Amino acid sequence: MRETVYVLGGAQTKFGELWNKSLSDLIREAVDGAIASTGIMPTDIDMVVIGNMVGGETAEQAHLGTLASSMLPHRPPSLRVEAACASGGLAVHTACAFLESGKAETILVIGAEKLTDVANDIVTSALMRAGDAEKDAPAGLTFPSIFALSATAYMHKYSLKREDLSLVSENSHKAAIKNPYAQFRKEIPAAAISKSPLIADPLRLLDCSPISDGAAAVILSTKHESSVHIAASQLASESLSLTDRESLTSFMSTRTAFVRALSESGWDKNSIDALELHDCFSIATLIHLEDLGYAEEGDAIRIFRQGDAGLDGALPINMSGGLKACGHPIGATGVKQILDCFKQLSGTANNQVTDMKRALAHNLGGVGATCTVHLLENIA
Amino acid sequence: MDRIPALHRRIKELANARLQPGVIESFTIVRHPPAGFGTEPYAVALIRLEDGTKVMAQLTRDSAEPMIGATVIPHMRRIRTMSNGLFVNDLKYEVVAMKTAPVFTVISYVLAVSGPSGVGKTTIARQLLTLFHSYAEQVPILTTRKAKKSDTEPYIHVSKEEFDSLLAKKEIISWTHMPSSTEQRYYGYRKRDIEAIWKKGKLPIVVTEINLLKGLVESLGRRAVLSCGLLPPGRSKRLMLSALLHRLRTRGRDTEEQIVERLKIAEADLKAFTDHAHLFDHMLVNDELGVCVETIRELVATVK
């Protein structure tokens, strides 16, 4: 990072089916909470960046930058960014770039999505826009079925068993019990996950992150200081369509973003204490762990089998409940991951990992077509 | 959403497209079709076409069951209905058969028995071969080491040059290199030996170590190897190693120096079991020979 970017604080709404709240209600709640959590005045904010994917289709609202800016008394300049499910991570990355360039000193970063106002059909087709509209979608694919293609290939290549795959969602659900903002705060045993209805073979309902509403906001600054800073912010791309990929069982974008993030921060990957991974589908978590180098190819499931991913494990993963159990309001997720890392690093998380110094937030758009990686550190 | 000009562009593209067969790289069954695609589940596959390009396409309903590696051929079929009621046609692919194997694809499987030196691999393999005499055969090992009178494994002895040339011709599908105090030793499995056993309708058995096992899994695919790891009896690693030491000494085949060398390898092998757990389907403790053989026999019977 060219400048030290501090995370001053942040807030999120509850994630879930929030029929009593509109998209702007959600944004306002997160913004008010975020400002209140820090010592700064609203007018200290000199820019707003918001991540959102399908506001136009599911809330009939575009132009979200100004919508959010209008909530502040002085209407600072604002913009909306989009990279499918990585819109939130992209918002944080964009804010970092503005802060590093000196164009802004204190930025309000928001991620928000409102999905449950419209019928399932509309959400399904809106989410499929994360894939390739000419090469992938015309065959009648839905978003879960794209990841199912990855899962089929992975299970075939590495002989992964169904019972094992369920351990991934089980871990997320267990963590979410303590998270008051989570959509599902209930322990679900692996056996029940293995028996849930099929969505796109081999993926079942409880392999998939849910359709959620929600918003999250964090305030980043180079002017005001705090004990947590962002040590690296990286963005990487891979071909949009699966038909242009070499491999279905590894995402080059994750590998590229993480290698660059490690070199930007000068960290060793083993010095990171906990991970927030983009577990949009159970299979994705396994692929990420291998792409990040925490497991050999085909062997990531061992981390879950050995219980290493839990709160007391060697590498706690998704202690917020992740996308699977905390919920996945598309654009909000990447910002909420930064918020969860901030809570862990400032010692205020509900599933507090002991001795937290360094955390990783990994946000993915499409089937690994976009990836953002953020490394956060407590420097107190 | 119905974008009529987009449909027009697709129709023009199809008119110029060369229709080609392909092979399934992965597939899924869409249980909840998007708007316009009906209500019945259908299969969608990522297909590698003859010319190397890939397409995403639906499989026809009258297809054989989809499998990775299966051959598909194109047909023009109705794919969806627009909101104004008009039908849209596009290419769907029919699964015709599993690819007939010019390269190495799974037509059967291999039983692999591995474990540290002295654990009893050879004895167990010999018993299995007796037990399954009509439908199992041990895969010979290609080696550059000198022939010895005490050899119990079915070795094919070749020179280093021959070994290298076979490697270059890709006839060896898995190999490893083990330096010993006296010579450089290379070991490997030939593709044609395994294929020959399969052709006879028999089950190939390999008695092997971790590197060769890894190579086999890579070339044949993980699912084509039923892999059993053998552990010596003992609750701790120390006890396991002393059980091995006892066996190596009592079988009286090796000098004390060779025994120490073997023990070192055995220790690494035990570690490999934990490091490469994904390479093994079953871990068996060779406590009582008969029980162990019977367990493997049952495993094989279930697969058949």
H or E segment to which residue B204 belongs: strand B203-208
Mean pLDDT calculated for residue range B255-282:
84
Q: Mapping DSSP to helix (H, G, I), strand (E, B) and coil, where does residue B175 land? A: strand
pLDDT of residue B109: 85
B282: contact with A, CB 8 A cutoff: no
Q: CA end-to-end span of chain A, whole Å?
A: 18
Tokens of A81: 């960014």
Q: Quick one: which of B89, B17, B87 has its CA closest to B58?
A: B89
Taking CB atoms and an 8 Å limit, are A198 and B31 in contact across chains? yes
The C-alpha atoms of residue A288 and residue A300 are separated, in whole angstroms, by 9
Residues in chain A: 380
Q: Between residues A292 and B183, which one has the greater pLDDT? A: A292
How many structural domains are present in chain A? Answer: 1
Residue of A243, A248, A281 to mutate for B, most B C-beta atoms under 10 A: A243
Nearest beta carbon to residue B223 from set A139, A151, A159: A159
pLDDT, tens digit (0-9, with 9 covering 90-100), for A1-15 = 999 999 999 999 999
In this structure, are residues B270 and B108 in contact, taking their beta carbons and an 8 Å threshold?
no
Question: Looking at the complex, does the CB of residue A246 fall below 8 Å from at least one CB of chain B?
Answer: no
Q: Which fold has domain B4-98?
A: OB fold (Dihydrolipoamide Acetyltransferase, E2P) (2.40.50)
Given CB atoms, is B65 within the 8 Å cutoff of chain A?
A: no
pLDDT for the residue B106: 41
* Res B302: pLDDT: 61
pLDDT confidence of residue A331:
98
Residues of B with CB below 8 A from A202's CB? 28
Q: How far apart are CA A148 and CA B30, in angstroms?
A: 9
Q: Which of A135, A140, A148 sits opposite B80 (nearest CB)?
A: A140
Average pLDDT across chain A, whole number: 97
Judging contacts by C-beta atoms under 8 Å, the chain A residues touching residue B90 are 138-139
**B304 or A328, higher pLDDT:** A328
Q: Does A164 touch chain B (CB under 8 A)?
A: no
A328 is catalytic: yes
8 Å CB contact of A139 and B26: no
Position A142 in a domain:
no
| Residue of chain B whose alpha carbon sits nearest to that of A197 | B31
Query: For residue B304, is pLDDT > 60?
Result: no
Q: Average pLDDT of chain B?
A: 85
Residue B135 has pLDDT above 80, yes or no: no
Task: Provide the token pair at A248.
Answer: 């279905």
Q: How far apart are CA A22 and CA A27, in angstroms?
A: 9
The shortest CB-CB distance from B34 to any of A140, A153, A158 is to: A140
pLDDT surpassing 70 at residue B101: no
Nearest CB to A153: which of B26, B31, B223?
Answer: B26
User: What is the nearest CA distance from B24 to chain A, expressed in angstroms?
Assistant: 10
SS3 (DSSP) at B152: coil
Please tell me if residue B261 touches chain A, with a CB cutoff of 8 Å.
Answer: no
Residue A31 lies in a domain: yes
Provide mean pLDDT across the span A303-326: 96
| Beta pairing partners, A220 | A7, A107
Which A residues in the span 198-227 are in contact with B, Cβ-Cβ below 8 Å? 198-203
Nearest CA in chain B to A142: B34
Dist CA A335 CA A337 (whole Å): 5
Q: What integer pLDDT is reported at residue B209 of this predicted model? A: 83
Judge whether residue A289 has pLDDT over 50: yes
Strand pairing class (B54-59; B87-98): parallel
pLDDT band at B103 (very low <50, low <70, confident <90, very high): very low
CA dist A193 → A38, A120, A167, B30 (Å):
40, 22, 9, 19
Cα B263 from Cα A285, distance rounded (Å)? 39
| pLDDT tens per residue across span A126-152 | 999 999 999 999 999 999 999 999 999
- How does DSSP assign B216-237, residue by residue? HHHHH-GGGEEEEEEE-S-SSH
Whether residue B27 and residue A149 make contact (CB cut-off 8 A), yes or no, is yes
Q: Per the CB < 8 Å rule, is A139 touching B25?
A: no
CB of B132 within 8 Å of a chain A CB? The answer is no
Residues A363 and A89 sit within 8 Å (Cβ to Cβ)? yes
**pLDDT at residue number B102:** 40
Average pLDDT for residues A183-187, to the nearest whole number?
Answer: 96
Q: Which position among A85, A96, A208, A371 bears the catalytic label? A: A85
Class of domain B110-303 as given by CATH: alpha beta
CA-based end-to-end distance of chain B: 50
Contacts from B295-304 at CB under 8 Å and sequence distance 24+? Answer: B296/B111, B296/B113, B296/B124, B296/B128, B296/B228, B297/B128, B297/B131, B297/B132, B299/B226, B299/B228, B300/B111, B300/B132, B300/B203, B300/B226, B303/B109, B303/B226
Measured between alpha carbons, how far is A173 from A302 in angstroms, rounded to an integer? 18
- Residue ranges making up the domain that contains A76: 5-119+212-221
User: Would you call B222 and A157 a contact, using CB atoms and an 8 Å cutoff?
Assistant: yes
CA dihedral B169, B172, B177, B180 (to 10 degrees): -100
User: So what's the pLDDT on residue B98?
Assistant: 55
User: What tokens were used for B53?
Assistant: 């390009």
Average pLDDT over residues A349-359: 95
Q: Which of B1, B56, B223 sits opposite A242 (nearest CB)?
A: B56
What pTM does this model have?
0.72
**Token pair in block for residue B181:** 């105090």
Question: To the nearest whole percent, how much of chain A has pLDDT over 90?
Answer: 99
B42 falls in which pLDDT band (50, 70, 90)?
A: very high
B108 falls in which pLDDT band (50, 70, 90)?
confident
Q: Report the range of poorest mean pLDDT among A181-190, B31-40, B104-113, B186-195.
A: B104-113
Judged by CB atoms within 8 Å, which residues 9-48 of B form the interface with A? 10, 25-35, 37, 42, 44, 46
Model confidence at B223, in pLDDT bands (50, 70, 90)?
A: confident
What average pLDDT does the segment A352-378 reach? 97
Contacts of A377 (CB under 8 A, 6+ apart): A228, A229, A231, A265, A345, A357, A358, A359
Give the model's confidence band at B303: pLDDT under 50 very low, under 70 low, under 90 confident, else very high: low
pLDDT of residue B23: 94
Smallest CA–CA distance, residue B229 to chain A, in Å, is 17
Rounded to the nearest angstrom, the gap between the alpha carbon of residue A369 and the centroid of all alpha carbons in its chain is 14
Considering the candidates A328, A362, A371, A374, report the single residue annotated as catalytic.
A328
Q: Do A298 and B278 touch (CB under 8 A)?
A: yes
Beta strand B184-190 with B203-208 is unpaired
Min Cα separation A303/chain B (Å) = 12
- What angle, rounded to 10 degrees, do the helices at A252-265 and A282-291 form? 50
**Å between A135 CA and nearest CA of chain B:** 7
Give Cα B7 distance to the centre of its chain. 43
Question: Is A361 in contact with A374 (CB distance < 8 Å)?
Answer: yes
3-state secondary structure chain A: CCCCEEEEEEEECCCECCCCCCHHHHHHHHHHHHHHHCCCCHHHCCEEEEECCCHHHHCCCCCHHHHHHCCCCCCCCEEEECECECHHHHHHHHHHHHHHHCCCCEEEEEEEECCCCCCHHHHHHHHHCCCCCCCCHHHCCCHHHHHHHHHHHHHHHHCCCHHHHHHHHHHHHHHHCCCCCCCCCCCCCHHHHHHCCEEECCEEHHHECCCCEEEEEEEEECCCCCCEEEEEEEEEECCCCHHHCCCCCCCHHHHHHHHHHHHHHCCCHHHCCEEECCCCEHHHHHHHHHHCCCCCCCCCHHHHHCCCCCCCCCCCECCCCHHHHHCCCHHHHHHHHHHHHHHHHCCCCCCCCCCCCEEEEEEEECCCCEEEEEEEEECC
Torsion from C-alpha of A36, A116, A81, A65, nearest 10 degrees: -50
**What is the mean predicted confidence (pLDDT) over B250-254?**
78
**Mean pLDDT throughout B90-117?**
71
Distance from CA of A340 to the nearest CA of B (A): 33
- Whether residue A150 lies within 8 A of chain B, CB to CB, comes out as yes
Out of A152, A199, A302, name the one closest to residue B31 (CB): A199
Please compute Rg for chain A using Cα positions.
Answer: 19
**What are the backbone dihedrals phi and psi of residue A21, each rounded to the nearest 5 degrees, phi first?**
-125, 135
Residues of each domain in chain B carrying CATH 2.40.50.840? 4-98
Q: From B10, which residue of chain A is nearest by alpha-carbon distance?
A: A134
Residues B197 and B139: beta-carbon distance below 8 Å: yes
- Specify whether the CB–CB gap between A232 and A135 falls below 8 A: no
CB-based contacts of B257: which residues, under 8 Å, 6+ apart?
Answer: B181
Half-sphere exposure of B19 (CA within 13 A, CB side): 12
Q: Does A242 sit within 8 Å of B46, measured CB to CB?
A: yes
In a 3-state reduction of DSSP, which class is residue B300? helix
Question: Which CATH number covers residue A57?
Answer: 3.40.47.10
Burial of B1 (0-12, 13-18, 19+ CB in 10 A): exposed
The per-residue pLDDT for B107 is: 53
User: CA-to-CA distance for B21 and B91, rounded, in angstroms?
Assistant: 11
The answer as to whether A35 is a domain residue is: yes
The CATH 3.40.50.300 domain(s) of chain B lie at 110-303
- Nearest CB to B56 within list A150, A159, A243: A243
Q: How far is CA B132 from the centre of its chain?
A: 21
- What's the ipTM? 0.94
pLDDT exceeds cutoff 50 at A255: yes
